[in-house]
Structure 1
Amino acid sequence: MDPFSITTNSILAVFTVMQLGLIPIMAEGETTVFGAVGEQVILPCIDKPQTNGVTWKYNDQVVIQHSIYLSRGRIPIKDRYELNKQEVSKGNLSLKLSQLEHSDAGKYVCIVGSRTFEVQLQVFEVTGSPSGYLLQGKNLMLSIQGSSSASVTWSNNRKDKVTATQSTELKNGGRTLQIHNLQVEDSGTWMCHITSLSAKLDIPYKVLVIGFHNLKRETLYEAVNSTVSISYSLSTHLLQIRELEYVRVGLEWKPVIDSKYQGKFNFSVTSKEQPLSKQMANMQVTWKPSHTLEVKLSKVQFEDAGWYQCQLTVSRDHVEKAIHLVVMTVSADPVGPLSKWANVTLLCKLSAPIPPNAQLFWEHLNGTEKKLNMSGHSEVMVKTKTVGLWRCSLKVENNTITSIDYTVVKAAEWNNYVLIWAMVGLGASIVLLLLASLFIFIFTARQRRRRRAEKMAQARRDLFERRICQCQRQLKNDYSDA
């Protein structure tokens, strides 16, 4: 219930009891009333039922006068005060003042015949610096303006009394509250409690922090070729603030800690339409109704690992949230079926070093073989002849974070026989080829010797025949000469 309702009900209760004659009428003297800027307040004046009317004055100037007719004064607040004419004849002469301002503070006098009732009005206001929407991680200073004689305390959005802590600081006797490093959990209604011996007032102040739920950096461990969803949950819907502030959302990525961020996308939230989803290569960006920005990577690769940072900019200030994506991959050397006498080397690798309390290891399922990474590095290797299903797992405190399976397949027996016979056949072919080459060489050499022998025999025959012919010609010539 607001302060005005409480005050109104109290006055009505007092008036009702007074009408029954259970308590005396309001005694002359001074009453203190607290009011908040922008709100309304009732200045009490209760007397016995009469028809003489009432006159209200503020700083010796007539505010309102009522006898048979109602007349108003000429001071600036004339349009913000009123009397309940139905209650005046019953003795309830209280004055209601609306839309309070600091200048309304001061002494009010209710004059009924020869009787006067004084009301001291004190007006307070809680101001915030900076005002309006606040970004996560920034500081906020709340101050109370008004009379310095009142006691001031504060309560947070959980209705707990505020004391001096690491995140809150009280100054000027509690009249100033400094809130450091605002978080989205600080959003809500904070209350300023003002009290004195005769009056009290509670003034609410609404704090709205824009940022991300759980601003701490997160790490996601995923297997290669899996689908990864990276979510950034905002504290409030952007549609609620875009009409008042310039809002921009962007996503940046860097592969390693030492490298610079590279822009993936960014857009301004300026229209009244819901931000549209975006599709870029293997990345899908979607706005969820629950104030969540979701980035989905399909068939993530080892090269996609790194830091994904979402930046929210409101006016000239910005706040970021980074999520580290660590990708696991496995490989085998050699690749393919494993022959009977061969070994295979299985390598499991992470894109970042494992946490101190984590274990990265290979294990043969349904078997006893296991290879554990004892060095804390980002990879583990096992050399084995054992076929079957192998699994690389990352565990933190006995909880499996991610894993990948690899099946070592044994080469079929007939393949081995084929390989052996192929080798035998290859050897036999080589021997046959050598024998054939030798045979051809010997045969060719013999043919060459045979041809040479035939040529020499032919030459001897030819020479013999030429000698016979010469002898015959000589004999013939001798006979002729005789």
Structure 2
Amino acid sequence: MLLECFIFGVITFLMTGVQCEVTEVLAEAGSQAVLPCKCSPSPSMPPAIIWSKADKGTVWRKEKSGLQYRGSSWSQKGIQRAQCPHSQFETGDYSLQINNVNEEDGGMYSCRVEHGDQFTKNEVMLRIIKVSVSPSGHIWGNDVSISCDVTPWPYGATVQWMLNNSPFVHQTGITSNRDTAKSVVRGKATARLTGNWTCVVGYKGIEGRASAMLTVKGIIQPSEDNTKVYAAVGSAVTLPCVFSPGLIPSNQVWDKLKPEFLFEPAPGQLPSSFSSSPLSSQLPWEKSASLKEVAFEDDGKYRCSGTIEGQRLSRSMQLVVAKIDSSIPSKKTGSVTLTCQLTDPSEVIDYEWVHVVYDLNGTQSVGSIQKGKTLSITKVSEDNWGEWACRFYGKEGILGNVTYHIQLMSGQSGQKSSGLSQNTAATVGLSFLLLILLLILAQMYKNHQRRKRLFRYPALETIVHTTSNEREERERNQVKK
């Protein structure tokens, strides 16, 4: 009796084949989905293969004779989307490839492989993952939602959101929820939500993902409010204000915000060197401004604003001004102390002093480097006089720099002072000799001019000579007596 039951079971197995468990496949909309179907190949005869979908009938079929049939709904612009690669049949791989899958392709598929009187049947559940962003145009500050749809939805699945390849952390003003068929993230369109959104779906030990890009139109530079711009006293600086390409704002205005108004900043007076006139090379959506010569008191917050599609967009930035304060503790020793000052050093983590050296050709090179906010030079000499630059650094690198020129003055070293005094004495002596020479030349010139005037009147010259001769002869006669 037991032997008969065993034989009957074997015959039933051989006649009906084996039905496997349902295989889950997760695929992103628009990609290629591969539905697996593998069984032991039969070297004696070619198999018959039938792929079908629960609600669409036959997808792809191959008879034992080699004839192939495709469902009419599986072509797109004359190109068949569903196929089984023949090159894999010899290994017993009869997987179905569906190109450019969409949400309607989701559902249950079955694969039936017949070898003579034997057949194998596999069932595959294809689920399509799609990430969509709405609305299509994302103006800065408007409401936006990012949704992850899975068709059909796998109940009990886990969903994780990633933004720019990093796990998304929920922030204030951003909500997320999952209804019966999708997971949704909602918030305001800002730089925090800009980037590549990826929905990762985990179900029964497998994982599928889909992505979509969220771009926000508005002021793209600077990307965040209160961005710091660093400038040195006396230099020129550009305050950036760039809108998204193609967005031309109306009623564009620049303001300087008064620091005493914390909650509702009020516009203040712009610096005298401020200029918002666009350059000829600027594009219509570039509304940056400039300060031609920065003063230390020009620091503070500036705001650029404009209207796009009836919505007022603005971006604020902070101008941080740097300068170098100098002090001379002792003129006798020639010592100098330089201090690097910033109106807001909150982001500065390191200071660096660099001695800038120039050769005869004007080529610039870097000499000695010292660390610290303050530079102390105990004795100014030819080795350390000239230009010094203070560089200040933040977490992401250099923020800016400011320079100071140290003069080499007399009395700062004994030998140089002595040499300078000798040169001064020689210069004074030469100047005195030159003055005497000029006086002699002036007197000679005056005598020459007097003679020249006398030679113009011969009769007068004769009278003068006669008078002179008579006077000389009377003087001789008086001497003889």
- For normalisation by structure 1, the TM-score amounts to 0.49
Normalising by structure 2, report the TM-score.
0.49
Query: Max radius of gyration: which structure?
Result: 1
